[in-house]
Amino acid sequence: MQLIQFWRNGSPALGLQTPSGIVDAAAEATRRGCTVPEHMEALIALGEAGLRLLGPLAQDPVCLLPAEGVRLAPVVTRPGRILCIGLNYRQHARECDLPLPPAPVLFNKFSNALAAHGEEITLPADYKEYDYEAELVAVMGKPARDVPQERALDYVFGYTCGNDLSTRDLQFARGGQWLLSKTFDGFAPIGPCLVPAGELDPDHLDISSRVNGELRQSSNTSDMIFPLARIIADLSHHFTLLPGDLIFTGTPQGVMQGWPADRKQWLKAGDQVEITIQGIGTLCNTFC
Ligand code: MG
C-alpha cells in the first residue's frame, strides 16, 4: 500500500497511490458509506486497524484526484521529532576516512525542514557546498520506551524515502554545526509515499540517488552499521519514541563530500535530485 498526503484547503489529507491514480481517501470512503482518518497522523494513531480501513479503497476506486494541480504534502507533516543517524553505512564511513562509530550517532532536524515530493527547495545564498544524502526514513507507530532489538520493528508504522540535505561548508565550520547545516527550510524532503512497515524488510532494500539523472549513490540498507532495530532499541533506551517521530537512518557512500576535491559538484539552483528505495519509489526534488 502506498499512502500519500496532499494539501486540501491548507490541511493535509490522505490519499492512496494506485495504478489508476491517487485515490482521495475521504471521498472514496464517503462514496462507500464509511469513514477513514483524515490525515496520516490520525491513521498512525489507529495503527493496523486504520490500514485495514484504507486497504479496500484501492480496489476499483472512483474518486481519483485530477492528474494536474494536486500539491502533495510531506507524508508526515507534524512529527514530534526528526531524529537522524550520522555515519551509519560502512562504505560511507570509509569514503569519509572515519572509524566506525561504537554506537548510533544522533543529531536532529526540525519540522520546518520537511518538504514534499516534487517541492522546489531553496538553497540559501550564504553557503555553497550543498550535498544530498539518500536515506531510508522510518515513521514510528507506537510509543517505544526501552524496547529490545528483537521487538523494535513492531513499533514502526511505515517507511519512506528521505534526502538529508546538508551544507558542508557550514557543517564543518564553527566547531561542527551538524544541526544548523542540515535544518534549513525544506532540507528534509520525504516521500513520495509511505509504505506500511509490514510490507518491507528495512534491512535489505536497494537505495540510490541520482543528480540530474546521473547515478551518485547505489547501495543496500544491509550495509548499515546499526540496523534500524538496533537504532530504535538504542534511542528508546534513552527516551520515549512517539508515534509520528521520523528516523533518518543514515546515508550510503557516494555523497559529494566523499568525492575528490577537484571533482566536487555541489548542488546548485536548477538541479534535480532523485532518491529511490526498493519497494517505496522515488522522491524527486528540484532546487532554486
Ligand atoms: Mg544523513
Confidence band of 173 (pLDDT split at 50, 70, 90): confident
251 Cα to the center of ligand 1, angstroms: 5
118 Cα to the center of ligand 1, angstroms: 20
Confidence band of 174 (pLDDT split at 50, 70, 90): confident
Confidence band of 153 (pLDDT split at 50, 70, 90): very high
Confidence band of 96 (pLDDT split at 50, 70, 90): confident
E strand or H helix at 93: helix 90-95
Question: 49 and 93 share a domain?
Answer: no
- Report the predicted TM-score, pTM, of the whole model to 2 decimal places: 0.98
Domain boundary among 17, 46, 73: 73
Beta bridge partners of 114: 188
Question: 63 and 134 share a domain?
Answer: no
DSSP-assigned letters across all residues of 192-235: EEEEEGGG--TTS-EEEEEETTEEEEEEEGGGBSS-HHHHHHHH
Residue ranges with CB less than 5 Å from ion ligand 1: 133, 164, 251
Question: 149 and 244 share a domain?
Answer: yes
264 Cα to the center of ligand 1, angstroms: 18
Give the residue numbers spanning the domain of 89.
Answer: 82-287
Please give the pLDDT value at position 159.
Answer: 98
Q: Is 193 exposed, middle or buried (0-12, 13-18, 19+ CB in 10 A)?
A: buried
249 Cα to the center of ligand 1, angstroms: 7
Domain boundary among 53, 73, 93: 73
The pLDDT tens digits of the residues spanning 46-88 come to 999 999 999 999 999 999 999 888 999 999 999 999 999 999 9
Question: 46 and 156 share a domain?
Answer: no
Average pLDDT of the segment spanning 109-138:
97
CB atoms closer than 10 angstroms to residue 62: 11
CA dihedral 76, 139, 218, 225 (to 10 degrees): 150
255 Cα to the center of ligand 1, angstroms: 10
Please report, rounded to a whole number, the percentage of residues in the chain having pLDDT higher than 90. 95
Please give the pLDDT value at position 79.
Answer: 97
Question: CA dist 101 to 89, 136, 214, 247, Å?
Answer: 10, 19, 30, 18
The pLDDT tens digits of the residues spanning 181-195 come to 999 999 999 999 999
48 Cα to the center of ligand 1, angstroms: 29
Q: Per-residue pLDDT for 97 more than 90?
A: no
Q: CA–CA separation, 250 vs 39, rounded Å?
A: 27
Question: 58 and 95 share a domain?
Answer: no
Q: Per-residue pLDDT for 27 more than 90?
A: yes
Q: CA–CA separation, 197 vs 251, rounded Å?
A: 20
Question: 12 and 101 share a domain?
Answer: no
C-alpha cell belonging to residue 176: 561542527
Residue type, 258: G
133 Cα to the center of ligand 1, angstroms: 6
Q: CA–CA separation, 78 vs 61, rounded Å?
A: 28
3 Cα to the center of ligand 1, angstroms: 24
Number of domains composing the chain: 2
- HSE-up (13 A, CA, CB side) for residue 9: 1
Please give the pLDDT value at position 176.
Answer: 85
Question: 107 and 192 share a domain?
Answer: yes
Question: 114 and 252 share a domain?
Answer: yes
Question: 246 and 168 share a domain?
Answer: yes
The alpha-helical segments, DSSP class H, found in 120-216 are: 168-171, 178-182
34 Cα to the center of ligand 1, angstroms: 41
Question: 266 and 208 share a domain?
Answer: yes
Question: 65 and 90 share a domain?
Answer: no
